[in-house]
A and B are shown apart, each in its own frame.
Chain A
Amino acid sequence: MHIKDTLPELYKIRRPLKVEDVRKRLAEKQGKEYWRSLEELAASDEFEELLHREFPRQAGEWDDPVGRRKFLKVMGASLALAGLSACVYQPPETIVPYVRQPEEEVPGKPLFFATAMPHAKGATGLLVRSNEGRPTHVEGNEMHPGNLGATDIFSIASILTLYDPDRSQTIQNRGDTRPYTAFLADVRTALDTLKTKQGAGLRFLTETVTSPSVAALLNQILKALPQARWHNFEPVGDGAAMAGARLAFGQAVNTIYRFDRADRVLALDSDFLAATPGNLRYARDFIEKRRVLAGKAEMNRLYAVETTPTNTGAKADHRFAVKPSELETFARALAPMLNVKGITAPSGSVPHADKLQAIAKDLQSARGKSIVIPGDYAPPVIHALAHAMNDALGNVGQTVVYTDPIAFGPNDQLTDQIEDLRALVNDIDAGQVEMLIIVGGNPVYNAPADFQFRERLKKLNEQKKLTAHLGLHFDETSEWCLWHVPEAHFLEAWGDARAYDGTVSIMQPLIAPLYRGRSALEFLTAFTDTPEKSGYDLLRDYWRTQPQMSGDFEHTWRRAVHDGIIAGTAAKEKTVALNTNWASQPAAASAQTTGGGQFEIVFRPDPSIYDGRHANNGWLQELPKPLTKLCWDNAALVSPTTARQLFNLGSEEATATYKGIEYMAPVIKLSFRNQTINAPVFIMAGQPDGVVTLHLGYGRTRVGRVGAGTTQQPVGFNAYALRFADAPWYAAGADVKTTGDTYQLVGTQLHFNMEGRDIVISKTLDEYLHHPNEKPEIVREGASTQPEEGTTRPLGEGIGTEKHEEPGPNDTLYTGFSYNGYKWGMVIDTTACVGCNSCIIACQSENNIPVVGKEQVARRREMHWLRVDAYFKGLAENPDGVYFMPVPCMHCENAPCEPVCPVNATVHDAEGTNNMVYNRCVGTRYCSNNCPYKVRRFNFLLFQDWTTPSLKLMRNPEVSVRSRGVMEKCTYCIQRIQNAKIDSERENGRQVRDGEIVTACQSSCPTNAIIFGNLNDQASGVSKWQREPRNYSLLAELNTRPRTTYLSALRNPNPEIQGT
């Protein structure tokens, strides 16, 4: 059937629509047809016009660029369509009980569904909580091999993206709203012409595809139209790793590391704890190998060679800063020491040459139990060198496993993405592209600067070629495409995705598409003979044919949907043979050193908003970046020495100045080749001299009210402007000039020095083994053993037996409170914390914590209940280490906040938690002043968005939404405690079992750094941790007797390496 036959005549009529006409037209339709027409009506131009006449004021505001900051307050604009969209997604508000109750749905009881968040680097398996049909919180799927129940910031924050009122809501054709059928008609007409040429001129541009069904569909289209082409481009791709594998093995392979078997790890510019495929799994395995607990006293050892500070470097036992240009020299100098064949040590100076022998010796002492892991962004030769080193160390097959790549490519071939995109650009120039279909991604914003992708799209438009873009937001690319189709969020659609090890997850929708978006699968089917087939059918039809689901399909399908993974889909281990022909090539490729300047640039995806795709996510924008603690902006990171040279400062002078509360950073002008950008400087301790790190993802111009900046109020700067196809991660020869301008940066922590205070107590493994109790002694006792309950310990008793003559925390004239039932407590292991921030976002999502915006962060009014402090030890030029410390409420036994509240709004309960009674709080802020940990957060303004309808759906119904004037803070997720207690009481009043209550931060933690439970239960995990000699209380000397205690940070430096 030709599409024209199915066209409703509606949208062909371009005369103003009258309400009477609509009624009449609707009256002609019957049953199902009726509703379909109404929906189509809603998407038509005429409807928009009608809307303008019906709601002239609101409709006008719809297109008005509302200030980004107003995101949280002024949602009047979205009201124009709120009534309409509410019919689409809001569950019907019936006042009678269900006639037929949805299966397993008990009002008030959340349900959990397994799904996965797709990602170019491998999907994260998720369990999504659904309250009455609304997804409200994301947790990890314990069965998923990629994350084992943990989550990263992106997957938790995806909830906010789902409900983002700025998401693209309508299909657009040059700014006009059109129905999907019109798009289909356009595409089908063009396809008819192309079909005669076997699809020549039809081009698809996707991001990295890890979905087997999407890849199969695309390949099916390519098979039907052999001249059509499918290009891949991912701005943060794994091109270097694949190129490295081709160098080393002659083929692209995926490398999987087994940190659970590795005793010694060398990271060559790899941030495997925070930003590589499988990083959640790696972080778990890596930390478990160094957890000193329950008598186990062995730790693995991590050497990190870095071109810019990362979380991995922060956790490293030895960290070596090198310039990007020195990285290869370093690796080549080390390789011969590990007996790598065919590589000769480079002549000339090698950075950290004196340490190489010790590293090599240490790695060799753990043959088959070590890992050399190259960074995703390191040049291919580093990958090849790492493969060779792993081979020489006998790690292959032990700690390092090779498989086929997890990503898919055209005709099952993986392409070099940058070259692939270059081919597309060349073809556009050659006039060979008739129809360009961009499936996700935002190449206008993030393609290499030299490709000038926007100009290319413009050219296609001028030539009246059909261009279409599928995207969550109407973004920079949508602006230059003829058609824009809203994409369904991954929580709204059926799909599948592979994890870092190839395991496939079936993604099930948690909610009907809020804005009638389409998944990539549903979008691409428009180019097949079944243009309107549903995503569900497409997915099932694909999997029905797959061997993993052979047999009883319904059974395996249900199992896969339920579990969130398809058993047996992990990629098979593969044996590859190492080439050595590349090894003799001279060090340091010259292609990247083609700039006139002295500086080297390191490009990195932003730790919070990644490549820019999360730019409109307020949670992620406000999330302090792990090491800089900046939010709402990116910055040019330079070393202290470089900053002093740049600004001609003495050693004591600070670069940035404070204007009142504002942190005014000087702005530099960075030029590379013919491109220039202005960027504020942030001084990063541990940054190699002469290297500028730029984070990608900022400086967006079209995405939504949160992420798109204006000239007056930019949201960061666009580092893609300096990024060229031949230098995607490292660019040498950049030029830096000072401009004399300043720019306000905001952060949640401005002071990274512990000032000599015992905040994060750190020691080496050796020190710990010899004196496990030395420092934490006095403080430990108070924390682990609350005063003997109901008894008074005579003042002074036991003092003589302690090393310190200070009275212990139990020496009190008062009787301690008896906790007869539960006594909740938490322990945080600072050795395990890798500073990934997922706990902050999990807490934000679970506890309905608002976003406050850049201005309010500048005023230090961020609302995060949980923060992760970072402290640098040692010299700023070369810090000995970075220590992360998550700080939630300590729930002190002697809470200083409690006695000072004049209205009893913060009180202790019988289970030991310190509770906030929001209804009672009048907001004197005295409690916050008196809190030595400063964990209390005050609603200085109406930070919470009370008006946007979609955001109301997002909230956790079990947690109060706080209004202005009220203090709030961490509650130990008291709603989860209560739920578990209710469940246990219903089961014959049994006790809550250990592990039954998992706080939001704890559940998201990739390294199990947080443990929560009942301190009265001696067998509980939290009690065991509190009895560890490493356990200490923060600021114990204040006698607040915190319930949240810490395990000290242990490091395991190599005794043969000096200076640590």
Chain B
Amino acid sequence: MASIDPSQDDVGIHVTPYPVIEPGHTFGSVTDKISSLTLKRRTPLGWFIGFGISFAFANILLFAIAYLVLTGIGVWGNNIPVGWAFDIINFVWWIGIGHAGTLISAILLLLRQSWRTSINRFAEAMTLFAVSCAAIFPLFHTGRPWLAIYWLFPYPNTMNIWPNFRSPLMWDVFAVSTYATVSALFWYVGLIPDFATLRDRAQSKPFKIAYGILSMGWRGSARHWARYEKLYLLLAALATPLVLSVHTIVSFDFAVGIIPGWHATIFPPYFVAGAIYAGFAMVLTLTIPLRKFYGLEDFITMRHLRNSAKVMLATGLIVAYGYMMEAFTAWYSASEYEGFMMKNRIYGGPYWWAYWLLISCNVLIPQVLWMKRARHSTVVLWIISLVVGVGMWLERFVIIVTSLHRDFLPSSWAMYRPTIIDFATLFGTIGMFVMLLFLFIRFLPVISIFEMRTILPQAEVKEEEA
């Protein structure tokens, strides 16, 4: 498992880019290596420490939410005029993070980008967990979640009362629940052949039974494979529009509003790009330590990291264009409210620091990725991915809080300050997210075993010959 020397690439041998899998692997070695993570290798101490910490944070989330439900939204810093703050910031942030998973698994699959294979499983899991984190907020940001949990769904009832189909929050409910369902299905279907592998290789009875149930009787017959391929493609085709639609709809929450800073037609594409940006940043944030600690450099190679970095650079530029257009439109509209909003964001208002921090995190610092050297340094990539993660969170802070705190009538202008419960909720969801990832790493194959086998040179030759 030799590590990659980035200087090799600097020589400029573009004909032989980094492979998506290091040479020397066989079908057997791939299967052994990946399945051993869950079946054979002793659970490392680091896993327990990491899981313990994230579990503690997940419990903080539990406490924060219980306290919230028992006491009221007032435990947060939200107020009038800033009716939404951390709750919706976190929601949009997590949903955005989820997007990379779907993009990697579905769109790249359809585009036959074989390099996606070693990271798609992980990215899908990330999507699912991020969506779980996100889904907490639409429910618990409401004042009466015990009613919101079912009143937001169009269930038939004797009162003949329906939800308001004109409300973007309603659309959110559909968008997010569809997204969560399709992502979960896609992920699970992709896991079935690997569950079977694990079932066959598991030594202990409980694991055999558990994986046996999860593999749904997969035997690997040609008929199974044929059906599997068809379903997987169909699901990919279903998931693909979701990448665009979910964040488009999330952006409608704002674009439909009449508040300056929200009411902008550029929001859908700008939000989608931002989501992919944040998602790839999160993929990098997670895979870089993962491949390091689990020695997966063979499967998750520099090629993956480099490609992710390029996607980040591209989507980051789209996002930067979005920021530019927001400012331009504010000026071009000649609306005093829009103009004031932009001025207030950039230099006139008390939250100017958030805007400039956002610009630094999302626009200025990621430009480092133009440098090949930076793209090839795991440390630099990791730091930038963290910076982008923070930047994307700040973007939502700027859009939501800064727009709301000073709107039309100066008499109602106010400040917003988060409380400790706001932070507990934010870090709690991060804890929950990481905890789920730890469980995923421990109990499920983090890399798709069977798909990895297909990208081995042995498999590829056959395909080409056919």
Contact = CB atoms under 8 A, between A and B. Distances in A.
A933 B408 contact: yes
Nearest to A753: B410
Interface residues of B, number: 53
Interface stretch (A19-27, A236-244, A696-704, A916-924): A916-924
Interface string B325-354: 000000000001100100000000010000
Contacts of A942: 72
Query: Main secondary structure on chain B at its contact with chain A?
Result: loop
Interface string A42-53: 000000000000
B143 A921 contact: yes
Given A902-B152, A922-B148, A749 B141 contact: no
A905 to B, nearest CB: 8
B78 interface: yes
B390 interface: no
Contacts of A965: 72-73, 142-144
Given A922-B147, A922-B148, A902 B410 contact: no
B134 to A, nearest CB: 16
Contacts of B257: 896, 900, 926, 929-930
Interface in A850-883: 856, 859-861, 867, 869-871
B143 A937 contact: no
Interface in B399-420: 404, 407-417
A921 B73 contact: no
A928 B83 contact: yes
Nearest to A1034: B409
A929 B83 contact: yes
Contacts of A856: 74
A1035 B152 CA distance: 32
Given A902-B152, A938-B73, A938-B83, A923 B409 contact: no
Contact of A660 (B75, B168, B417): B417
A220 B412 CA distance: 57
A904 B163 CA distance: 6
Most buried by B among A867, A871, A923: A923
Interface string A978-1014: 0000000000000000000000000000000000000
B167 A930 contact: no
Interface in B238-283: 253, 256-259
A899 B258 CA distance: 11
Nearest to A899: B166
A871 B411 CA distance: 8
A773 to B, nearest CB: 22
Contact of A932 (B144, B340, B408, B413): B408
Interface string A152-179: 0000000000000000000000000000
B258 A749 contact: no
A925 B87 CA distance: 11
A922 B166 contact: no
A860 B164 contact: no
A920 B150 CA distance: 12
Nearest to B149: A922
B63 interface: no
A298 B349 CA distance: 43
A923 B138 CA distance: 11
Nearest to B168: A900
Interface string B125-145: 000000000000000011111
Contacts of A759: 409-410
Contacts of A939: 72, 143
Interface residues of A, number: 58
B77 interface: yes
A900 B409 contact: no
A256 B42 CA distance: 96
Interface string A704-721: 000000000000000000
Contact of B81 (A754, A899, A928, A941): A928
B363 to A, nearest CB: 27
A965 B173 CA distance: 20
A964 B143 contact: yes
B410 A754 contact: yes
Contacts of A95: none
A923 B142 contact: yes
B142 A940 contact: no
B79 A940 contact: yes
A940 B72 contact: yes
A930 B258 contact: yes
B161 interface: yes
Nearest to A662: B417
Contact of B80 (A660, A920, A938, A964): A938
Given A902-B169, A904-B163, A904-B164, A860 B414 contact: yes
A733 to B, nearest CB: 38
A308 B148 CA distance: 51
Contact of A756 (B82, B258, B336): B336
A667 interface: no
Name, among B82, B142, B257, B412, the residue most crowded by chain A CB atoms within 10 Å (CB to CB): B412
Contacts of B423: none
B84 interface: yes
A938 B415 contact: no
Contacts of A662: 417
Nearest to A757: B336
A1038 interface: yes
B409 to A, nearest CB: 6
Contacts of B184: none
A934 interface: yes
A1039 B411 CA distance: 20
A749 B406 CA distance: 12
B204 interface: no
A921 B169 CA distance: 14
A861 B75 CA distance: 12
B374 interface: no
Q: Which 4 A-B pairs have the closest CB atoms?
A: A923-B143, A965-B143, A940-B74, A925-B83
Given A924-B143, A964-B74, 5 more contacts: A661-B417, A759-B409, A887-B411, A899-B166, A923-B144
28 contacts: A661-B77, A749-B412, A751-B411, A751-B413, A757-B337, A757-B410, A759-B409, A859-B74, A860-B79, A861-B79, A871-B410, A899-B167, A900-B167, A901-B164, A902-B163, A902-B173, A903-B151, A923-B73, A924-B148, A924-B169, A925-B83, A926-B169, A926-B253, A928-B81, A929-B257, A940-B78, A964-B72, A966-B143
